[in-house]
Copies of this chain bind each other. A is one copy, B any other.
Amino acid sequence: MPGGAPAGSSIADAGLAEAGRARIEWADAQMPVLRSIRERLGAHRPLDGIRVAACLHVTAETANLVRALIAGGAQVALCASNPLSTQDDTAASLVADHGAEIHAVRGEGPQAYEGHVQALAAWAPQVALDDGADLLLALHEGGPAIEGVLGATEETTIGLVRLRTLAARQALAFPVLAVNESRTERAFNDRFGTGQSTLDGILRATHLLLAGRTLVVLGYGYTGQGVALRARGAGSSVIVCEIDPLRALQARMEGFQVMPALEAAERGDVFITVTGSRDALGAEHFARMKDGAVLANAGHFDIEINLDELRGAAVDEPREVRPLVDQYDLGGRQLNLLAQGRVVNLAAAEGHPAEVMDMSFATQALCVEEIVRHGEELPARVLAVPDEIDREVARLKLEALGVRIDSLSPAQAEYLDRWDGGASESSR
């Protein structure tokens, strides 16, 4: 039945709800922007009766997005975009306390994952929120259900690559707001959130001292920039590897060393991939690395470090020397792979801090509202998040921080509007 509820939640243990509740409340206390939106949505219920399907990390922060949408009147079904990051207690609380449908069990296998995505697609959602585009692609493969979709959001670079390829073939069926490319996302989620949490994950996994180490960042997009910035702030000497000449040049101007990955392979103590592509590190690189080198992936998928080639280069099975640290013996040299090459800030730490997710999910919530209000008017393309949403989120965030700023005086506004701005005699 299109529009019917999914067949009921699949979660690990309903008994964990109380722990999840505390976790969600703590996150909520760090998410004042989303909370103020929840309050407004709750008062006006602009999402009444709307079916929202979300394929996101099942964490306490996501839970507060779900709460906001439900407060606005929506029915919400949620599955995990990455089974390793699922918090089973959060899932339990979402079911018990908030009436959401959850399909997520920490550590579930590929088949269970696929089944959960399919269940959500089959539910015929009107709005879909995605993190990697798996749900959106499933909707496109899933028959008539797709017709009722008003619009969607996607929040990863790699997901957008997939959706734009689809759009280029005229095969995208509804508008998709590129949350990942909003100014708040780039400035905060990617740069500050991932920067901090990636290093946090590496520290928890390894307990290394970053000061004095040479840290190699492969990929200098927003996320790579954040990782490089925080690594330098932690006292590391940072090398950047990048294929885009403009980004490479920017890294160099920021004071980082820039060189080809094969050269960096010989110098690094810690390697972090964040390219959005595959095989940033492979056999050639492993062959040149120092004994004790640490390999971590901060990209969405676990394909940035070529694991087959790593296994192939090792003389033996990897040995788990600390939780989440697998040591590969390359014949005398040991390479330490973190979290099996999965995204290290989620797998070895807690992902983005709630404060970062606050802005990201506030944007999501406002995007859902936008889609419900205007989705039918929007073209079936990958679209930028409207600038007003970005500004509204930033405005609410500054308010939450207690930071006050100026506004233009009438004279200044008029100055900027005048065609001859500043051409007074005195200006020369």
A→B interface (CB under 8 Å): 22-23, 25-26, 29-30, 82-83, 110, 113, 134, 137, 158, 161-162, 165-166, 169, 183-184, 187-188, 191-193, 195-196, 200, 203-204, 207-212, 229-230, 232-238, 241-246, 248-250, 252-261, 276-279, 290, 292, 300-303, 307, 321-322, 325, 334, 350, 352-356, 390-391, 394-395, 397-398, 401-409, 411-412, 415-428
| Set of chain B residues within 8 Å of A252, measured between Cβ atoms | 212, 237, 398, 401, 403
Give 3 closest A-B pairs by Cβ, nearest first.
A233-B233, A165-B419, A209-B353
Given A196-B209, A246-B184, A415-B277, A22:B322 Cβ within 8 A: yes
- A166 to B419, Cβ gap below 8 A? yes
- Please name 28 pairs of A and B residues whose Cβ atoms are closer than 8 Å in the assembled complex, sorted by A: A25-B321, A29-B292, A110-B428, A113-B428, A165-B417, A184-B249, A187-B249, A188-B249, A188-B253, A192-B209, A192-B235, A196-B203, A204-B204, A209-B355, A229-B235, A230-B234, A237-B252, A237-B256, A237-B257, A242-B405, A245-B394, A245-B398, A245-B405, A248-B398, A252-B403, A258-B405, A278-B422, A300-B422
Looking at A82, A113, A276, A401, the one whose CB has the most chain B CB atoms below 10 A away is A401
Contacts of A188 in B (CB 8 A): 249, 253
Is B427 a contact partner of A302 (Cβ separation < 8 A)? yes
Q: Beyond the given A30-B208, A187-B249, A212-B253, please list 5 additional residue pairs across the A-B interface where CB-CB is below 8 A.
A: A200-B203, A211-B255, A233-B235, A244-B391, A279-B411
Say yes or no: A187-B426 contact (C-beta < 8 A), given A25-B321, A355-B208: no
Whether A411 and B278, one on each chain, are in contact in the complex, defined by CB atoms closer than 8 angstroms, is yes
A162 touching B192 in the complex, CB below 8 Å, given contacts A255-B236, A350-B207: no
Copies in the complex: 4
- CA–CA, A354 to B229, complex, Å? 24
Given known pairs A209-B192, A412-B278, A419-B165, the reply for A254 and B241 (CB within 8 Å) is no
Q: A20 to nearest B CB, angstroms?
A: 12
Whether A245 pairs with B427 at a CB distance below 8 angstroms is no
State A250–B394 Cα separation when bound (angstroms): 9
B243 to A427, Cβ gap below 8 A?
Answer: no
Q: Are B261 and A235 in contact (CB under 8 A)?
A: no
Least Cβ–Cβ distance between A376 and chain B, in angstroms:
26
**Residues in B whose Cβ lies below 8 Å from that of A353:** 207-209
Q: Looking at the assembled complex, report how far the CB atom of A223 sits from the nearest CB atom of chain B, in whole angstroms.
A: 14
Q: Which chain B positions have C-beta within 8 A of A409?
A: 279
Contact A426-B307, Cβ < 8 Å, known A232-B233, A233-B232, A246-B184: yes
- B residues within 8 A CB of A83? 428
Query: Of B162, B191, B248, B290, which one neighbours A405 at CB under 8 angstroms?
Result: B248
User: How far apart are the CA atoms of A210 and B415 in the complex, in Å?
Assistant: 33
CB–CB B391/A245 < 8 A: yes
List the B side residues contacting A419 at CB < 8 Å.
162, 165-166, 169
Interface centre among A208, A234, A356 (most CB of B within 10 A): A234
Q: With both chains docked as a complex, state the minimum distance between the C-beta of A184 and any C-beta of chain B, in angstroms.
A: 7
CA distance A158 to B427 in the complex (A): 12
Please state if B233 and A209 are interface contacts (CB–CB under 8 Å). Answer: no
CB < 8 Å: which of B137, B183, B258, B415 contacts A278? Answer: B415
A191 to B110, CA, bound (A): 46
Closest chain-B Cβ to A215's Cβ sits at a distance in Å of 10
Q: Complex formed: what's the CA distance from A402 to B307 in Å?
A: 28
A397: chain B residues at CB < 8 Å are: 245, 249
- Shortest CB distance A103–B (Å): 14
A401→B248 CA distance, assembly (Å): 12
Please name all residues of chain B whose beta carbon is closer than 8 Å to the beta carbon of A22 when the two chains form the complex: 321-322
Are A209's CB and B258's CB within 8 A?
A: no
Contact A425 B394 (CB under 8 A): no
Cα–Cα distance between A217 and B165 once the two chains are bound (Å)? 43
* Nearest Cβ on chain B to A311's Cβ, whole angstroms: 12
The answer to whether B209 touches A356 (Cβ under 8 A) is: yes
